[in-house]
Structure 1
């Protein structure tokens, strides 16, 4: 048993266990929504914060490795990748939902004309209180995409600003951004959201959580800083990190309600998630489990699965009324139906769109210009 060296980490072009972690995050969100009271202990709602930390880590890793490979970060290529990764599934699934309810004659009663401006501009987290989380709102979970889109607009530009400077400068930029956003928490949601969904959705705490993942990527990319997290890749220390993460995770529901929604819990959760990510780089049973083919299969489709859950639950409940009662069986069936729909979108929309984006980037690299052609780096798989 030994730790993972920095050279071994940098040689990794895929992080299979993180695909499985995405699968876990997506499925527990579905069980939170449709599993009933018996699954409250799973704290499924924090699955979105797993996604945030993962997104911050993977996006920043991709940017830093591009800089290491090519000497610079191309914002154009970054946004091409993001547009072709996020928007095709997002708009296809949203169009499917709107068409479904339009054909049922419910398009106006569900108030989609009023909410279109929020969904089409990725301002989902600012939906009016009366529409947010309502029983007839089947796309409200997409508020997390609004958060991530805004993060993508600013953070890559800050990495370009950092240039090829030492990792210390990138750390300072990340910590500075985090400090500003933490200072804004009292001005947005406050440190205690008092069970207000509106306050939580509009809090700057989400961007801090994303930056925790980004900061981890900066540390792990630096040979000098990597030594601070390297011990967590040892199987024994990884076990400690996994136990610590699990202990907080299964108690988040209780702690969240007993503290009037203290957002500091989300920051603690983000830090433990970052430690978990490091531990999953080494060899241990959890890494093996999350890297199995079924977990990676679900992880690859987790983005669309997450977006499909609301309409899948409606369809299942409309077809078989027994599934209108939330419980374990309902959650399992909704997960399977969401996965089936997600697989269709993954095969026919998501994957082809990603490949199209890569071809566009490859063509741009081959164009005769001031910059000589460069071998395109194999992208790190990044979640939504």
Structure 2
């Protein structure tokens, strides 16, 4: 069986790095501005993993069970999200909404995955859930597109087809940013912006899918004759630099520089795929963060805001203490969620497997 279809602890380590980047940008009040690249890393990794899962099923059975796929996504995503929404309802019952915040809109847009279509001013403490909306939209159409068209094409045409779509999305993303710089694209409570709108952000997810298909065609591709730890350092060093210094509104990044950061994320993921037992990515700390990354991401921003009243303006010591408390509380809550909610529910996924006749061809 090809290595792209096997469990890879290094990829869990990358999830850990991605969620740590997100924690850094929010815990630092945006001072570590490039932490948003953690979301880009999540996107590319998600595209890779979902496509590999679909490709494995299609290769084994000649079809994809859409029902099983969506049920398993439901089991993975909804329970922590529902807990987050309940926490928000408790939170907002004590805190008066500010500005345009609408609790009803926040709940419905979060629960039904259209946060990224709503203007940020209406979203309050759950604004960060926009990325879940992007991924969920991708999950809705990608399996159908894969099984109905792409997987039926020769591998070369599959990759050309996806590359073509990525190119279109890239151009559209730049156009949306340029258009918004002239006149914001607001339509009542809704908006289209190049950072959150689905069709502007699935370029990274599709890039991960492209890599999964490419590796399934030639598992020996992307092999580099370099010492593994050195190779990882050479990839993570520019990521670390960008996390520390890149601003989300940087014009170079907005007008196409995101192609470079997406490719950097892809290169890191390909390294992890080729080195599934890398000692750095597979260390216990990163694995812990990675296995709980979804819960950490979903809960942390609301917890951070709930603890904001503890802040004393101008006090460095207070900032350190409150930041530490925020991070510890987020990690603790994610751990409780992982053990009590996520792990027990995820065991149900085994009940939803393709019941078709297994093909004799080996992966």
TM above 0.5, one fold?
yes
Q: Determine the structure 2 residue equivalent to 1:339.
A: 331
1: CA distance, partners of 2:67 / 2:209: 20
Give the alignment partner of residue 349 of structure 2, picking from 344, 357, 370.
357
Higher deviation after alignment, 25-34 or 169-178: 169-178
Flag structure 2 segments of 5+ consecutive residues without an equivalent.
185-191
Is 1:150 equivalent to 2:137 in the alignment?
Answer: yes
List per-residue Cα deviations over 1:66-89 (Å, max 9, x = no partner).
122223222222111111111121
How many residues get paired? 347
- 1:343 match: secondary structure: helix
Is 1:123 equivalent to 2:114 in the alignment?
Answer: yes
Q: Could you tell me how far 1:212 is from its partner in structure 2?
A: 0.8
1: CA distance, partners of 2:213 / 2:221: 12
CA contact (8 A) 1:53 1:273 kept: yes
Give the alignment partner of residue 56 of structure 1, picking from 25, 47, 50.
47
CA pair 31-254 structure 1, distance change in 2 beyond 3 A: closer
Q: Could you tell me how far 1:199 is from its partner in structure 2?
A: 4.1
Q: Could you tell me how far 1:46 is from its partner in structure 2?
A: 1.2
Give the alignment partner of residue 28 of structure 1, picking from 21, 32, 42.
21
- 1:62 match: secondary structure: helix
Give the alignment partner of residue 88 of structure 2, picking from 90, 93, 97.
97
- 1:138 match: secondary structure: helix
CA contact (8 A) 1:245 1:269 kept: no
Give the alignment partner of residue 127 of structure 2, picking from 131, 134, 140.
140
Q: Determine the structure 2 residue equivalent to 1:275.
A: 267
Q: Determine the structure 1 residue equivalent to 2:167.
A: 179
Is 1:166 equivalent to 2:166 in the alignment?
Answer: no
Q: Could you tell me how far 1:258 is from its partner in structure 2?
A: 4.6
List per-residue Cα deviations over 1:64-122 (Å, max 9, x = no partner).
111222232222221111111111211221122212322x2646985312433322321
CA contact (8 A) 2:303 2:330 kept: yes
RMSD (CA atoms): 3.2
CA contact (8 A) 2:40 2:204 kept: yes
CA contact (8 A) 2:173 2:194 kept: no
Is 1:205 equivalent to 2:192 in the alignment?
Answer: no
CA pair 227-68 structure 1, distance change in 2 beyond 3 A: same
Q: Could you tell me how far 1:59 is from its partner in structure 2?
A: 0.5
Q: Could you tell me how far 1:181 is from its partner in structure 2?
A: 1.8
Q: Determine the structure 2 residue equivalent to 1:378.
A: none
1: CA distance, partners of 2:156 / 2:359: 27
Higher deviation after alignment, 207-216 or 325-334: 325-334
List per-residue Cα deviations over 1:326-372 (Å, max 9, x = no partner).
8555443322211111112222222222222332x14x73xxxxx45
- 1:151 match: secondary structure: helix
Q: Determine the structure 2 residue equivalent to 1:229.
A: 222
1: CA distance, partners of 2:54 / 2:66: 9
2: CA distance, partners of 1:72 / 1:331: 48
Q: Could you tell me how far 1:210 is from its partner in structure 2?
A: 0.8
CA pair 307-324 structure 1, distance change in 2 beyond 3 A: farther
1: CA distance, partners of 2:106 / 2:30: 30
- 1:130 match: secondary structure: helix
CA contact (8 A) 1:129 1:198 kept: no
CA contact (8 A) 2:44 2:206 kept: yes
TM-score (normalised: structure 2)? 0.83
